Amino acid sequence: MDDQSYNPNDNFQYQYRPGPQSQRPKKAKRPNSKKIVLIVVAVVCVLLVAVTALNSFYTIGEQENAVVTTFGVPQTVTSPGLHFKIPYIQEVQKVDMTIKGIAIGYDLYTNESKDEESLMITSDYNFVNVDFFMEYRVTDPVKYLYNSQDAAGILKTLAQSYIRDTIGLYPVDDVITSGKSQIQAEIKEKIINRMEQEDLGIQLVNLTIQDAEPPTAEVLAAFKDVENAKQGKETALNNANKYRSEQLPAAEAEADRILQQAEATKASRINEATGQVARFNAMYEEYSKFPGITKQRMYYETMEDLLPGLQVILTDENGNHLNMFSFDGAKEAAQ
């Protein structure tokens, strides 16, 4: 074949036969496309069934309620446990029904003060830092989810508004010391009434003043002095009341003794005056009968009272005693 050229007209067929060291390459078998499609469909169906089964049940805890929405219509489920729902049609939203807390004026977790929330002005134009803690709970899960986007945020905003409004009606002394209970009750009542009007499905449970103090250390010290003075005042009042309780019975007894003595003196003076009037009337009656003798006798009696035992001696120009008499004898002679 090396010396002769190949002529296609020659009537013979050329066949290639590999030598003993060469081999013809084998062709790879093509995969069956139908089997692949069937496998993919089977896997998708299994996954779809699994997802559907997982979405057909939900669980409600002891402190939870669920809102099941079917074609846009919500319904509340309250019983705890495992429940069935129609997959891809019904949507379930769980709502925590426990009491929750909101801090106003400070951070609930770090306890750091927030001046933009706590700093307020009182009716007597003083500044004060007041921290509040508010507790609330969900009463209607459907209204809580659909009547507002953030019911708890609305509650906090309303509480801050009423807190500032109420604090502004009281003097700083009441806010820091004696008026806390009244302020808490007034704010709580305002918030409850407003939340009933808003109808957001949540309810205020409690509102307490955590802390109230002046914004500066100097003012705080002054208010502490005021509080100490008030306590001293209360102590002094209590001691005074105790002293009054001890002394009042003795004073009342002394007053009764003085009144009784005055009554006795009054009766004695009246009796004495009555006796003197009787004697005067008797003397006047006697004087009207014998005026000269009575007048002389009265004179002697008066002189006897003024000069008891006095003797009168009469003398002449030479000093000789003419007569001697006493008022007692004169009175006897007059009688």
Tokens of 139: 């009463």
Condensed to tens digits (0 to 9), the pLDDT of residues 153-178 reads 999 999 999 999 999 999 988 998 88
- Contact in structure between 115 and 104 (CB atoms under 8 Å): no
Condensed to tens digits (0 to 9), the pLDDT of residues 110-129 reads 888 888 899 898 998 888 99
Classify burial at 154, counting beta carbons within 10 Å of its beta carbon; exposed 0-12, middle 13-18, buried 19 or more.
middle
User: Residue 87's pLDDT is what?
Assistant: 81
Please report which confidence band the pLDDT of residue 293 belongs to, taking 50, 70 and 90 as the band edges: confident
**Whole-prediction pTM value?**
0.53
User: Residue 155's pLDDT is what?
Assistant: 95
pLDDT above 60 for 29: no
Please report which confidence band the pLDDT of residue 334 belongs to, taking 50, 70 and 90 as the band edges: very low
CA 196 from chain center: how many Å? Answer: 22
| DSSP 8-state class, residue 105 | S
Q: Which residue has the tokens 């005055």?
A: 262
Q: What is the mean pLDDT of the chain?
A: 81
Rounded Cα distance, 84 and 75, in Å: 14
**Of 214, 197, 199, residue with least CA distance to 122:** 214
pLDDT above 90 for 284: no
User: Residue 327's pLDDT is what?
Assistant: 52
Rounded Cα distance, 285 and 158, in Å: 102
User: CA triplet 295, 297, 301: central angle to 5 degrees?
Assistant: 115
